[in-house]
Structure 1
Amino acid sequence: MNEQQRNDRQRRIDEQYRPEPEIRQVERECEALYPKGRSRIALTGASGYIGHNLLQRLTEHADVIALSRSGDQRKNTEHVEWRSCDFFSMEDANQGLHGADYAVYLIHSMLPSAKLTQGTFEDMDVILAEHFARAARNNGVKQIVYLSGILPEHTSEDELSRHLRSRLEVERVLKSFGVPVTTIRAGLIVGPQGSSFPILVKLVRRLPVMILPRWTRTKTHPIALEDILNALDRSIGNRTLDEQIIDVGGPEVMTYREMMQRTAEIMDKKRRFFNVPLLTIKLSRLWVTLVTGAPKEMAYPLIESLAHPMVAQRKHKVQGISDGKISFDKAARTSLEQEEEYRHKKNSHSKSKKPLKSAIRSLKSDVRSVQRIKLPPGKDATWAGERYLAWLPVFAKPWVRVETGGPDTYQLYLLGSRKPLLEMIYDRAQSTSEFALYRITGGTFATVKEDHRGRLEFLQIPGTNICVVAIHDYVPSLPWFIYKYTQAKVHLGVMYAFGKYVKRLIDTNV
Structure 2
Amino acid sequence: MGNNRPVVALTGATGYIGGNLLEQIKEKADVIALSRSGDEKENTEQVTWRSADFFSMPDAEKALEGADYAIYLIHSMKPAAKLTQAKFEDMDLILADNFARAAKKQGVKQIIYLSGIVPQNEERNKLSRHLRSRLEVEKVLRAYGTPVTTIRAGLIVGPKGSSFPILSKLAKRLPFMLLPKWTRTKTHPIALKDVVGSLNKSVGNEEVKDRSIDVGGPEVMTYKEMMIQTAEVLGKKPRVIDVPFMTVNLSRLWVMLITGASKEMVYPLVESLQHPMVAKNKADGISEGTITFKEAAKTALQEEEEDSGAPDYLKPNPKGKDVRSVQRVMLPDGKNAEWAGEEYMDWLATLAKPLLWTEVDDAKKGQVFLISKKKPLLELSFAPDESDQHRVLYKITGGRFASVRDDSRGRIEFRQIPDTQECIIAIHEYEPAMPWFIYRYTQANVHLIVMYLFKKHLERLMKSERHHEDEGAEKQIVEA
- Quickly name the TM-score band, shorter chain normalised: over 0.9
* 1:43 partnered with 2:7: no
Equivalent runs, 1:311-330 vs 2, <5 Å: 311-313=278-280, 316-330=281-295
| 1:429 shift after superposition | 1.7
158, 162, 169: which one aligns with 2:129 = 162
Amino acid at match of 1:256: Y
| 1:445 shift after superposition | 0.7
Cross-structure match for 1:6: none
* 1:331 partnered with 2:296: yes
Deviation larger for 411-420 or 184-193? 411-420
Cross-structure match for 1:415: 371
Cross-structure match for 1:180: 147
Amino acid at match of 1:317: K
Amino acid at match of 2:104: R
Provide the secondary structure at the position in 2 that maps to 1:72: helix
254, 259, 273: which one aligns with 2:221 = 254
64, 79, 83: which one aligns with 1:97 = 64
* Mapped partners of 2:318, 2:199: distance in 1: 33
Provide the secondary structure at the position in 2 that maps to 1:177: coil
2:351–2:357 CA contact under 8 A, matched in 1: no
* 1:460 partnered with 2:416: yes
| 1:361 shift after superposition | 5.5
188, 201, 222: which one aligns with 2:168 = 201
Amino acid at match of 2:27: E
Amino acid at match of 2:298: R
Cross-structure match for 1:480: 436
Equivalent runs, 1:209-248 vs 2, <5 Å: 209-248=176-215
Provide the secondary structure at the position in 2 that maps to 1:290: helix
* Mapped partners of 2:106, 2:401: distance in 1: 37
* 1:403 partnered with 2:359: yes
Cross-structure match for 2:86: 119
4+ long deviations beyond 2 Å: 404-408
* Mapped partners of 1:429, 1:251: distance in 2: 51
| 1:417 shift after superposition | 4.3
Provide the secondary structure at the position in 1 that maps to 2:457: helix
Amino acid at match of 1:299: V
* Mapped partners of 1:329, 1:248: distance in 2: 18
Amino acid at match of 1:334: T
| 1:407 shift after superposition | 2.4
Count of residue pairs the alignment pairs up: 461
* Mapped partners of 1:442, 1:264: distance in 2: 57
Amino acid at match of 1:342: D
* Mapped partners of 2:195, 2:153: distance in 1: 8
* Mapped partners of 2:132, 2:362: distance in 1: 43
* Mapped partners of 2:360, 2:266: distance in 1: 46
What is the TM-score with the length of structure 2 in the denominator? 0.94
List gaps (5 residues or longer) in structure 2. Answer: 469-480
368, 377, 381: which one aligns with 1:425 = 381
| 1:399 shift after superposition | 1.9
* Mapped partners of 1:458, 1:59: distance in 2: 38
2:90–2:328 CA contact under 8 A, matched in 1: yes
| 1:410 shift after superposition | 1.2
| 1:38 shift after superposition | 1.0
* Mapped partners of 1:368, 1:501: distance in 2: 23
| 1:251 shift after superposition | 0.2
Provide the secondary structure at the position in 1 that maps to 2:384: coil
| 1:404 shift after superposition | 3.1
Cα distance 1:236–1:435, how it changes in 2: closer, same or farther (>3 A)?
same
Amino acid at match of 1:328: F
Cα distance 1:361–1:154, how it changes in 2: closer, same or farther (>3 A)?
closer
Cross-structure match for 2:321: 365
Give the superposed CA RMSD.
Answer: 1.6
* Mapped partners of 1:265, 1:395: distance in 2: 62
* Mapped partners of 2:336, 2:213: distance in 1: 34
The percentage of aligned residue pairs carrying the same residue is 60
What is the TM-score with the length of structure 1 in the denominator? 0.88
Equivalent runs, 1:229-308 vs 2, <5 Å: 229-278=196-245, 280-308=247-275
36, 59, 78: which one aligns with 1:69 = 36
List gaps (5 residues or longer) in structure 1. Answer: 1-34, 348-356
Amino acid at match of 2:269: L
Amino acid at match of 1:370: V
2:10–2:33 CA contact under 8 A, matched in 1: yes
Amino acid at match of 1:383: W
| 1:278 shift after superposition | 2.6
* Mapped partners of 1:233, 1:49: distance in 2: 15
* Mapped partners of 1:36, 1:252: distance in 2: 42
| 1:279 shift after superposition | 5.1
Amino acid at match of 2:289: G
Amino acid at match of 1:117: T
Amino acid at match of 1:132: F
Provide the secondary structure at the position in 1 that maps to 2:395: strand
Cross-structure match for 2:119: 152
* Mapped partners of 1:317, 1:139: distance in 2: 30
What does the per-residue CA deviation read over 1:68-96, in whole Å, with 9 as the maximum and x for residues that have no partner?
Answer: 11111111111111111001000101111
Deviation larger for 415-424 or 207-216? 415-424
* 1:394 partnered with 2:350: yes
Cα distance 1:457–1:312, how it changes in 2: closer, same or farther (>3 A)?
same
